[in-house]
Amino acid sequence: MKQKSVLITGCSSGIGKCLAHGLRNRGYRIYATARQPADVDELAADGFESLRLDLDSSESIRYTVNEVLQRTDSKLYALINNGAYGQPGAVEDLSRETLRAQFETNLFGTQELTNLVIPVMRAQGEGRIIQMSSLLGIVCLAYRGAYNASKYALEALSDTLRLELRHSNIHVSIIEPGPIESRFRANAYAAFKRNIDREHSVYRDYYARVEKRLAGPKPMPFTLPPEAVLKKVIRALEARRPKARYGVTFSTHLFAVLRRVLPVRVLDQILSATGNGGRR
Ligand SMILES: NC(=O)c1ccc[n+]([C@@H]2O[C@H](COP(=O)([O-])OP(=O)(O)OC[C@H]3O[C@@H](n4cnc5c(N)ncnc54)[C@H](OP(=O)(O)O)[C@@H]3O)[C@@H](O)[C@H]2O)c1
């Protein structure tokens, strides 16, 4: 049987790297992409067909899609939109540029890439689009407004796309992980230091605690290894009728239910305690 090709974004670490290895072991032909040239080289040294793909650059997106299609005779079974980062900071401390940067990567670049791939999937008569959302695409936590908004928006575009592709044999599945071991927190901490003016914020004291949490080694409760995400991605790739949503971790399943059954006031209390958001 001919190998099915899968393009994955953000393979330098964490979930993307795990997906690249796990799906290759399962027999897929993986196009493992990363933003930094050094990571592309490392993936190549690991035996991957690796390419540079920076979601912030239309040129990079177009170049990589063209390159992949040349190598696969214009076939691509699946796209896994995994690459993203978290921008911490209170909503009132987010500059227009900081909010835009979060959306450029997590939403605009991701959708631009998806829109280049859909015609290929239409032409071959099948395809799978897998969107890495988050527990924070289901409920919001304080001081994560930019990231929350980007994942809610990704969920909305994914739901719309699913309706529009209903009769196309192209399936859109959303993966919703809770806390997963990866470089996510370290990268979020870097974005926090880069883009939030902590000294002049009304949240200055709270931010000192945020920095401790982001820099510290203690994982969030119910954290799982990235292999937990891999399991759900395999289902989304291989089920005859993949589900619209796959939750990963206890926290995701719990909050998906709580959001439906609890009054907003009660849910807010729980979310404030969970995200440290209630205390300043
Ligand atoms: N870890 C969690 O707890 C968790 C929970 C829910 C959802 N998620 C989602 O899971 C996905 C993977 O995150 P992760 O946990 O594996 O974190 P990670 O280790 O930080 O990996 C994120 C990946 O995205 C890449 N990326 C960032 N900006 C990019 C850009 N402009 N263009 C292309 N790639 C870019 C990163 O590349 P660089 O190395 O170059 O920065 C890295 O490869 C994300 O969509 C995240 O929102 C994670």
Three-state DSSP at 149 gives helix
Q: Are 235 and 246 in contact (CB under 8 A)?
A: yes
57, 130, 174, 184: residue to mutate for ligand 1 pocket, most atoms within 8 A of CB = 184
Nearest Cα to 82, choosing from 17, 37, 21, 145?
A: 17
If you measure from the C-alpha of residue 249 to the centroid of ligand 1, how many angstroms do you get, rounded to a whole number?
A: 17
Of 67-76, 104-113, 161-170, 214-223, minimum mean pLDDT range = 214-223
Nearest atom of ligand 1 to the alpha carbon of 85 = 27
Of 97 and 211, which is predicted with more confidence?
A: 97
- Say yes or no: CB of residue 131 within 6 Å of ligand 1: no
Nearest Cα to 154, choosing from 176, 121, 169, 170?
A: 176
Q: Are 148 and 136 in contact (CB under 8 A)?
A: yes
pLDDT in tens, 175-230: 999 999 999 999 999 999 999 999 999 999 999 988 888 888 788 889 999 999 99
pLDDT band at 276 (very low <50, low <70, confident <90, very high): low
Rounded to an integer, what distance in angstroms lies between the CA atom of residue 62 and that of residue 113? 8
7, 9, 13: residue to mutate for ligand 1 pocket, most atoms within 8 A of CB = 13
Residue 76 has pLDDT above 50, yes or no: yes
Nearest atom of ligand 1 to the alpha carbon of 57 = 31
If you measure from the C-alpha of residue 200 to the centroid of ligand 1, how many angstroms do you get, rounded to a whole number?
A: 29
By annotation, the residues acting in catalysis are 147
pLDDT in tens, 244-254: 999 999 999 99
CA geometry: angle at 97 spanning 114 and 141, to 5°? Answer: 75
**How many percent of the chain have pLDDT more than 90?**
92
Terminal Cα distance for the chain, rounded:
58
Q: Is 263 exposed, middle or buried (0-12, 13-18, 19+ CB in 10 A)?
A: exposed
Residue 278 has pLDDT above 50, yes or no: no
Residue 1 has pLDDT above 70, yes or no: no
The pLDDT mean for the chain works out to: 96
Mean pLDDT of 52-66: 98
Of 213 and 30, which is predicted with more confidence?
A: 30
Give the contacts of 9 (CB within 8 A, at least 6 positions apart): 16, 33, 53, 55, 80, 81, 82, 83, 110, 113
Residue 158: predicted pLDDT? 98
183, 213, 249, 250: residue to mutate for ligand 1 pocket, most atoms within 8 A of CB = 183
If you measure from the C-alpha of residue 13 to the centroid of ligand 1, how many angstroms do you get, rounded to a whole number?
A: 7
The set of long-range contacts for 244-247, using a CB threshold of 8 Å and a minimum separation of 24, is 244/159, 244/162, 244/172, 244/173, 244/174, 245/173, 245/174, 245/175, 245/176, 246/173, 246/174, 246/175, 246/176, 247/176, 247/178
Residue 90 has pLDDT above 70, yes or no: yes
pTM: 0.97
Q: What is the DSSP string of 35-102?
A: SSHHHHHHHHHTT-EEEE--TT-HHHHHHHHHHHHHHTTS--SEEEE-------B-GGG--HHHHHHH
- Say yes or no: CB of residue 177 within 6 Å of ligand 1: yes
- Say yes or no: CB of residue 56 within 6 Å of ligand 1: yes
Nearest atom of ligand 1 to the alpha carbon of 133 = 7
If you measure from the C-alpha of residue 154 to the centroid of ligand 1, how many angstroms do you get, rounded to a whole number?
A: 14
Q: Are 70 and 53 in contact (CB under 8 A)?
A: no
Mean pLDDT of 14-29: 98
Residue 279: predicted pLDDT? 45
Rounded to an integer, what distance in angstroms lies between the CA atom of residue 30 and that of residue 88? 32
Mean pLDDT of 259-270: 97
